[in-house]
Amino acid sequence: MGFRITTWNVNGIRNPFGYHPWSVNRTYQAMFDTLEADIVVMQECKIQRKDLQDDMVLIPGWDVHFSLPKVKKGYSGGLLLRKEETSVVDFFSSPSRRFLNQLVYGGLVFQDRDEGREQPVLWDLCREFHPTRQGMYTCWEVKKNARPGNFGSRIDYVLCSTGIKSWVYNADIQHGLMGSDHCPVYATFSDIVKKDGQDFHLLDLLNPEAYEIYCVSLVTKKTGVNCGRSFYMCSRPLGPSGDKEIGTEFRCRTFIWSSDWSGRL
């Protein structure tokens, strides 16, 4: 089939639903699919902006553009629809999407990976906690008022490396919070996290310079294979419990061999 352009004076955009075959399946999606056109132009839509509904403007597979009169409201008006021809392969093969999907675990990559990007390195935290959720969009087109019908895209992420993935216990979007064409996206970290098999308070790891303040360098004097090795341990005094603690102002469980300390996390 060639490229088809259809023009139709509908005498009111809701008017066709009173006739067969449109009355059988009263949806705009079915109407435009039945027309089998690549571009549809409608005249005399006779509708005001305030009366537009989601199923009129958010039609999967179509770009929808209304032209409504500003002076004589509800009179005449036009509608232009253009069929979207972007395939799944085309979408995921675009340079920006392909770049992202090669970096993220679980990213869909068509054909061979690019040189130097053979293995993913980042985790998409929201998707990790909600692997099957549909419509988890974070951005909506304002001109189409696409947000109420959740006709959007997901282009906002919280990404992390494998080393700190276990520190996160929740991640999600906040689609109900208004203020932008995007919504907030968040990840929540545990207060106590593990690093090199030890428990640390997250704030201590986020402030590595704190080790220089709260840690003291000592040398092992006990006879054995580690005799003479230097190490860092917390210099704060023991608390009332008489034991090392986590997340308090007293001595914590920090113990790091000097040879293992690189000055950064």
Each residue's pLDDT tens digit, 177-194: 999 999 999 999 998 888
d(Cα 52, Cα 66) in Å, to the nearest integer?
Answer: 10
Output the tens digit of pLDDT for each of the chain's 265 residues. 577 888 889 888 888 888 888 788 888 888 888 888 888 888 888 888 888 887 887 787 788 888 887 777 667 788 877 877 667 787 788 888 899 999 999 998 988 999 989 999 999 999 999 999 999 999 998 887 888 888 889 999 999 999 899 999 999 999 999 999 999 999 999 988 888 777 777 877 776 555 555 677 788 888 889 898 888 888 788 888 888 877 777 888 878 888 876 554 4
Per DSSP, helices labelled H in the chain are 28-35, 54-57, 88-93, 95-103, 125-129, 162-165, 202-206, 210-214
d(Cα 106, Cα 128) in Å, to the nearest integer?
Answer: 9
Please state whether the peptide bond connecting residue 21 to the residue before it is cis, i.e. omega within 30 degrees of 0. Answer: yes
Strand ranges for the chain from DSSP E: 5-9, 39-43, 62-67, 78-83, 123-124, 139-140, 152-153, 159-160, 168-173, 185-189, 192-195, 198-201, 215-219, 230-234, 255-257
**Secondary structure of residue 236 in the 3-state scheme:** coil
182 is an annotated ligand-binding site residue: yes
181 is an annotated ligand-binding site residue: yes
Other C-beta atoms lying within 10 Å of the C-beta of residue 148:
10
